[in-house]
Chains A and B, each alone.
Chain A
């Protein structure tokens, strides 16, 4: 069964002024769309066709690089759209906030560690908040379209929050000012969705 490009859970202009309509349209229909169709091309006629995207991630070292790049791109963008919201921002609550405080000392500390990871990723890639196997949280970063579910990455875990720092995610609006894009991102984070992923 072929993977499908999911619809956005909001309109293309819904994340203005933090992410502009043109960036969202190209990012979703062209970039995410291309990862989806290239993933389908890469797995066509192979046993991977009957697996979930998470199952493919978990044994990624066994797949050709086209599956790694496009499967990663497919999964990462699926997650990214859901953890953003026009009603986002603010601070997490409940057990997620407790876990953040336990690990990072405060929400502010977490924010600055995550922002640092996003700013310091050289080239293209992602910053992540993950839940590790032992249940603790960690901030990590992966190059290109790799992610913390892939079996070969150094720091593995369930991604709860991800920030795309490929230049295509922000260049039309922010150009070389990646830190401004990262700052704007915090106004969009859908903490309900992050909490849902945390408690799953």
Chain B
């Protein structure tokens, strides 16, 4: 089963000024696409040829893991953003956030710190643990929390390619802009589903 590149759920220029059209063209059209192409080549004739991405993330190693996880991570990242996002969580998720972090602001502060301090390439994640609690974790390179039994709810890509054309070395500015695009209705669905 060959994987294909999912389309973005919004126009390439719709996240401006937070993320430029040019960044999204490369990020989605080149990087995300290359992970899809590489994965399709690598799985051919292996036990993962018929596997879904979650199985690849949980069980594969090396290039198959790296490319498979990056396909999943980017789709999850892009679909968590929206040019007209729901700006605050409500209901069960809101209560869980207040229980775990005290407030949405406190969650954002901790998540921003995790994003800013990840050294090198990687991802920051808001996750639901097995017992239903919320937590924030960092994963280097292609890392994905599914591999250690955590359910991803939101992610920020801090590979330099995600922000370098727009922000260069100023990763904290990118993270601040990230919050203006996070669609909490998507995070609620992931949490409740």
Contact = CB atoms under 8 A, between A and B. Distances in A.
Contacts of A61: none
A159 B160 CA distance: 25
A106 interface: no
Given A26-B168, A30-B168, A69 B119 contact: yes
Contacts of A125: 120
Interface of B: 26, 30-31, 34, 66, 119-122, 140-142, 159-161, 164-165, 168-169
Nearest to B27: A176
Interface string A138-156: 0000011100000000000
Contacts of A166: 120, 160
Nearest to B161: A167
A122 B38 CA distance: 13
17 contacts: A26-B168, A26-B169, A30-B168, A31-B169, A34-B169, A123-B120, A123-B121, A124-B121, A125-B120, A145-B119, A166-B120, A167-B161, A168-B164, A168-B169, A171-B161, A171-B165, A176-B31
Interface residues of A, number: 20
Contacts of B121: 123-124, 167
A160 to B, nearest CB: 24
Given A167-B159, A171-B160, A176-B31, A123 B141 contact: yes
Contacts of A123: 120-122, 140-142, 159
B160 A124 contact: yes
Contacts of B159: 123, 167
Contacts of B120: 123-125, 143-145, 166
A8 interface: no
A167 B160 contact: yes
A171 B167 CA distance: 12
A130 to B, nearest CB: 21
Nearest to A120: B63
Contacts of B26: 175-176
Nearest to B34: A176
B114 to A, nearest CB: 15
A144 B140 CA distance: 10
Contact of B169 (A30, A122, A145, A175): A30
A172 interface: yes
Nearest to A166: B160
B26 to A, nearest CB: 5
A34 B159 CA distance: 18
B138 to A, nearest CB: 13
Contacts of A144: 119-120
Interface string A67-104: 00100000000000000000000000000000000000
Contacts of B142: 122-123
